[in-house]
Amino acid sequence: MDFSLTEDRRMLSDSLTRFLADKYGFDHRKTVAYEAPFHDTDLWSEMCELGVLYALAPEDAGGFGGAGFDVTTVFEALGKGLCPAPVLGSLLASSLLTSAGADQAGLLDGSVRYAAAIGELDAPYDLDDIETTFEGGKLSGRKSVIYGGNDAEVFLVAAKSGDTLGVYEVKAADAQVTGYGLIDGGGAAELFMDGTPATEVIADARHALEHALDLGRLALCAEAVGLMDATNEILLDYLRTRKQFGVAIGKFQALQHRAVDLETEIEQARSITILAASRIGEDDQAKIVAMAKNLIGRAARLVSEEAIQMHGGIAMTWEAAVSHYAKRLVMIDAQLGDEDYQLEKVMAGYAA
């Protein structure tokens, strides 16, 4: 048994954490995360130079990582730094290109921005509900809340050709893209296609899509762990320093027990994220990732709501970093399958 990170991953974690603390400080983040393109494109290039994207892809696809623990290492650091950069979209797209055995040099060096267009308005989480169609080299349909889609150049689109779910590549320039900012920072887009020219990337992509989504879910779990750690640090500092009735509010037992409950849930969240990272590529990957995302959904909301409540009014303000951490923590649940959706997947095995 060994719960420590490998030397390479520890170095990546340290350098990314330091980079974000130095360059993506809260004041800067607060500005760029809410104005188009909803992240800092110069810092994006610098992050890519650090090797952030290469860490997400396996060696035979041109990267130097791609394992579950590579993904969690990167995303935990992104979470701790509350980074709005569109790394999730890159991860999903990279995983699809890896499955396809396609060239992804441009994605990995950061020169071409990709996004994965999977969810739809009536199909926010489940691949079975997808209605976008591919026929005669053309795509028709609407893809919704594509993370990082607001300034992507290439979309990898999940669509049905007959009864088969495939992945097709569309150039942003060939389609209608409406980008917008998200309430927790960062950007996304709606993609409208109506006989839009597309090329096939994977003809039968069911497995590849599920795998990409699992990696994405794992990434979100790790991001949430980083966010929760940072939020907890801010909260504990406040409980120790904010005084009311002549004492630090952390002296009130009504708050002490709840702070301990948060700590407990954060440790549980960390554990199940480690478990999920270890199961990537194994038979029970889907089930364990679903368990992790379910627990994260519950823990992240609890940490968010309790951190606000125990701060009092100050956490309701835009100027306080904790409010932005709190928003991100809550909104993670609605990405790639919420708590209930994941629970259904866990329950699905029971009847068998």
Partner 1 sequence: MDLSFTQEELDFRDEVRAFLDEKLPKELSEKVRIGGELDKEDMDRWHAILNEKGWLATGWPTEFGGPGWSPVEKHIFEEECAKAHAPRIVPFGLAMLGPVLQTFGSKEQQDQILPRILDGSDWWCQGYSEPGAGSDLASLKTRAVRDGDDYVINGQKTWTTLGQYANKIFCLVRTKTDGKPQEGISFILVDLDTPGIEMRPIKLIEGGHEVNEVFFTDVRVPASNLVGEENQGWTIAKFLLTHERTNIAGVGFSMQGLTELKALARRVKRGGKPLIENPLFAARIAQMEVDLEAMKITNLRMLYTAQTQGAPGPETSILKIKGTVIRQTQNELARRALGPAAAPFPSEDMFGNAALAEPEDVHNAATYFNNRKLSIFGGSNEIQRNILSKAMLEL
Ligand X SMILES: Cc1cc2nc3c(=O)[nH]c(=O)nc-3n(C[C@H](O)[C@H](O)[C@H](O)COP(=O)(O)OP(=O)(O)OC[C@H]3O[C@@H](n4cnc5c(N)ncnc54)[C@H](O)[C@@H]3O)c2cc1C
Segment near partner 1 (CB under 8 A); pick from 98-106, 225-233, 275-283, 332-340: 332-340
The verdict on 351 binding ligand X (CB under 6 A) reads: no
The verdict on 136 binding ligand X (CB under 6 A) reads: no
Which residue's entry shows tokens 């959904």? 297
Closest CA relative to residue 120, chosen from 94, 139, 99: 139
User: What does 11 bind: partner 1, ligand X, none (CB cut-off 5 to 8 Å by kind)?
Assistant: none
Q: Residue length, the chain?
A: 352
Alpha carbon of residue 208 to chain centroid: 18
Which residue's entry shows tokens 């109506």? 194
CB 126 within 8 A of CB 147: no
Min separation Cβ 217 and partner 1, Å: 14
Site residues for ligand X, 217-236, by CB under 6 A, read none
CB 133 within 8 A of CB 160: yes
Which of 52, 87, 145, 300 forms a contact with partner 1 (CB under 8 A)? 145
Q: Which is nearer to partner 1, 51 or 187 (CB)?
A: 187
Which of 57, 82, 182, 295 forms a contact with partner 1 (CB under 8 A)? 182
Min separation Cβ 87 and partner 1, Å: 17
Two tokens at 303? 């940490």
Count Cα atoms within 13 angstroms, Cβ side, for 168: 27
Q: Which is nearer to partner 1, 103 or 194 (CB)?
A: 194
The verdict on 313 binding ligand X (CB under 6 A) reads: yes
Closest CA relative to residue 141, chosen from 190, 207, 199: 190
- SS3 state at 103: coil
The continuous run of DSSP H or E covering 193 comes out as strand 187-197
Site residues for partner 1, 225-284, by CB under 8 A, read 243-246, 252, 254-255
- SS3 state at 123: strand
Min separation Cβ 127 and partner 1, Å: 11
Site residues for ligand X, 246-265, by CB under 6 A, read 249, 252, 254-255
Which of 43, 118, 152, 310 forms a contact with ligand X (CB under 6 A)? 310
The verdict on 192 binding ligand X (CB under 6 A) reads: no
CA-atom Rg of the chain in angstroms: 20
Two tokens at 121? 């308005």
Two tokens at 138? 């053309």
Segment near ligand X (CB under 6 A); pick from 10-18, 69-77, 174-182, 305-313: 305-313
- Side chain identity, residue 318: W
Rounded Cα–Cα distance for residues 296 and 303 (Å): 10
Q: Which is nearer to partner 1, 60 or 128 (CB)?
A: 128
Q: Give residues with Cβ within 8 angstroms of 267, minimum separation 6.
A: none
Q: Which is nearer to partner 1, 145 or 202 (CB)?
A: 145
C-alpha distances (whole Å) from 1 to each of 4, 5, 275, 285 are 9, 12, 13, 20
For residue 32, how many other CB atoms are within 10 A of its CB?
Answer: 20
Report how many residues bind ligand X under the rule CB under 6 A.
12
Which of 25, 281, 312, 349 forms a contact with ligand X (CB under 6 A)? 312
Segment near ligand X (CB under 6 A); pick from 90-98, 243-251, 283-291, 323-331: 243-251
Could you list the residues that contact ligand X (CB under 6 A)? 242, 244-245, 249, 252, 254-255, 309-310, 312-313, 316
Could you list the residues that contact partner 1 (CB under 8 A)? 34, 119, 121-122, 124-126, 128-129, 144-145, 178, 180-184, 188, 190, 192, 243-246, 252, 254-255, 301, 305, 308-309, 312-313, 315-319, 323, 326-327, 330-331, 333-335, 338, 340-341, 343-344
